[in-house]
Amino acid sequence: MLRIGRIVLTQANSSYYTSPVSHLHRLLSAAAPHISPNPSFAVEDYLVATCGLTRAQALKASTKLCHLKSPTKPDAVLAFLAGLGLSRADIAAVVAKDPKFLCTSVERTLASTVTDLTGTGLSHTEIARLVSLTPFSFRSRSIGSNLPYCVRLFGSYENLTRALKFSNYLLTRSLDKVVKPNVAFLHECGIDATGIASLCLAVPWLLGTKPEQVRAMVVRAEAVGVPRGSGMFRLALQAVAFRSEETIAVKVEQLKTAFRWSDAEVGTAVCKLPMLLTMSKDTMQSKSEFLISEVGLDPGYIARRPAMLGLSLKGRLRPRYYTVKFLKDNGLLDCERDYFNTFAASEKVFVEKFIYRHKDAAPHLAQDYAAACRGEGPTNFRFT
């Protein structure tokens, strides 16, 4: 867990972090006899033999390192990474992800960054993890000042590292010109701190986007019928983020066609479930065929209850429909059941009402239902 505000780690933690530069001097001095300019230095061979890349990775990475004429600087960087505790496999992953990391100055940039990060309270393991996740950011001096703010924003260091898997440049964006203005604007739109953290975990590159582009995304979210301040606005923004007006318009037309909705009905559905705008055309078609053509539900009924469209067709909708149909066909249900409530019920409630209650009359029902949930079972369940 990140400990913001702790200035240095205890002496017992690691001598590397209490004096990173002097430790690096010792590492580099030990390596000095092996470092010498070499006019025939072959970058690709070095990446394979010394850095642990595959030949294919080395071929791709070498195009960004064609100016290297000596192993001097790369050797220093490798010593730095080893000093952080990264394994050979970890180092290979870092170099493959960011080949230019090998050209970074150890003393001017990398060691200084380590000093900044220890000042925020990061442990040995956390710093090594950060290098592995986002070597691009680690080469930026802004990371030391950005990281505490981003940890507070995401709620924990663990949440931040989850976001960094998808947004390597988050920690390099200007706090004052980009990140903070975006956060302030999202607050103005009625999204609280928890909502912003959830939104940024779903769309982690959002915060690092230019503020004018974020404002344009908000306009597009409002255009699909979800007003600022509503409970669904965060999900609407998530659904339209980085999608053009043309792309959104195409998706709306696909929804209308697949579910036979009017303009008003598609507006009703999207307001209640904005993530419909992210559904693939094939998924729309398969769910429409099942719910309208097979189950016989009215398009307007579905538009008013779009939550069912967010449920798995194979793992939930089909197995539950077949179960209820079996019970109806065999006179085991004493009243008509609403399909939305049947689909939306928790697994525990559904099994109790529709499986266990009829175990004597239909002893194979639980087995057939379980098989159907796995996509293996028949559509016609068995009595005996």
| Residue 33 pLDDT class (50, 70, 90 cuts) | very low
Domain boundary residue, one of 309, 326, 342: 309
pLDDT over 90 at 87, yes or no = yes
In this structure, are 219 and 343 located in the same domain? no
Judgement on whether residues 197 and 217 belong to the same structural domain of the protein: yes
User: Residue 160 domain-assigned?
Assistant: no
Same domain, yes or no, for 59 and 105?
yes
Domain final residue pick, 309, 325, 342: 309
- Per residue in 165-180, pLDDT (tens digit) is 887 778 888 999 999 9
Same domain, 94 and 63: yes
- Position 38 pLDDT exceeds 70: no
pLDDT computed for residue 24 by the predictor: 43
Residue with the larger pLDDT of the pair 36 and 328: 328
- 338 and 239 fall within a common domain: no
Same structural domain, 122 and 246? no
pLDDT band at 32 (very low <50, low <70, confident <90, very high): very low
**Pair (136, 229) in one structural domain:** no
The string of pLDDT tens digits covering residues 111-121 is 989 988 888 88
Tokens representing residue 16 in the block: 């590397």
Q: How many domains does the structure of the chain reveal?
A: 3
> pLDDT at residue 10 above 90?
no
Residue 367: both structure tokens together: 């087995």
Residue 186 located in a structural domain:
yes
Could you list the residue range(s) of the whole structural domain that residue 350 is in? 313-373
In the block, residue with structure tokens 């499986």: 355
Q: Looking at per-residue confidence, does 278 or 12 come out higher?
A: 278
Q: Is residue 43 part of a domain?
A: yes
Report the pLDDT value the prediction gives residue 28, as an integer from 0 to 100. Answer: 40
My answer on whether 245 and 305 are in the same domain is yes
pLDDT of 1 above 50: no
pLDDT for 193-237, tens place per residue?
889 988 988 888 898 899 999 999 999 999 999 999 898 999 999
Task: Return the closest-CA partner of residue 372 out of 294, 320, 308.
Answer: 320
User: Comparing C-alpha atoms, which of 167, 116, 165 is closest to residue 141?
Assistant: 116
Q: Which of 285, 309, 333 is the last residue of a domain?
A: 309
Q: Is residue 5 included in any domain, yes or no?
A: no
Residue 25 in this model has a pLDDT that exceeds 80: no
Let me know if residue 380 belongs to a domain: no
Closest CA to 338 of 311, 358, 314, 308: 308
How far apart CA 66 and CA 70 sit, in angstroms, is 11
45 plus 58 within the same structural domain: yes
In a domain, 191, yes or no: yes
pLDDT for residue 68:
86
Q: Do 136 and 183 lie in a common domain?
A: no
pLDDT of residue 3: 38
User: Considering the entire predicted model, what is its pTM?
Assistant: 0.73
- Secondary structure tally for the chain: helices H, strands E: 23, 0
CATH number of the domain bearing residue 265: 1.25.70.10
Whether residue 156 lies inside any domain: the answer is no
How far apart are alpha carbons 258 and 277 in whole angstroms? 13
Is residue 167 in some structural domain?
no
Q: Same domain for 200 and 143?
A: no
Q: Are 242 and 220 in contact (CB under 8 A)?
A: no
Residue 138 has a pLDDT of 86
Both 290 and 241 in a single domain?
Answer: yes
